[in-house]
Amino acid sequence: MGLGGCIILIAVGAILTFATDWDMQGVNLDLVGIILIVVGLIGVATFSSVAKRRRVVVPPTTPVIDEERHHSRRDGYSDGYGV
């Protein structure tokens, strides 16, 4: 389940808990809504912790050199700001 699914669970749970007055025999819709909100929040927390671990970027050990830029200067071409 992605982040969008977790947000949908939270929204549906909030609607069931706070915006409905339905009475169903044998089902407490307020409790179902609270359960959906809690599951959605757990999903958001899990998703964000996994995404945070994936975002760690290791800097390259060797410098990146733009070969095209260096060749154009050796060939006598300007860098685009003058003749």
pLDDT digits (tens, 9 = 90+) for 25-72: 999 999 999 999 999 999 999 998 887 777 666 666 776 666 665 455
Q: What's the whole-model pTM score?
A: 0.61
Would the pLDDT of 10 be above 90?
yes
The dihedral region occupied by 62, where left means phi > 0, alpha psi between -120 and 50, and beta the remainder, is beta
Residue 14, Cα to own-chain centre: how many angstroms?
A: 22
Q: Which helix (H) or strand (E) holds 21?
A: none
Distance, in Å, from the CA atom of 37 to the CA atom of 17, rounded to the nearest integer, reads 9
Neighbouring-strand partners of residue 24: 27
3-state DSSP assignment of residue 4: helix
pLDDT computed for residue 49 by the predictor: 85
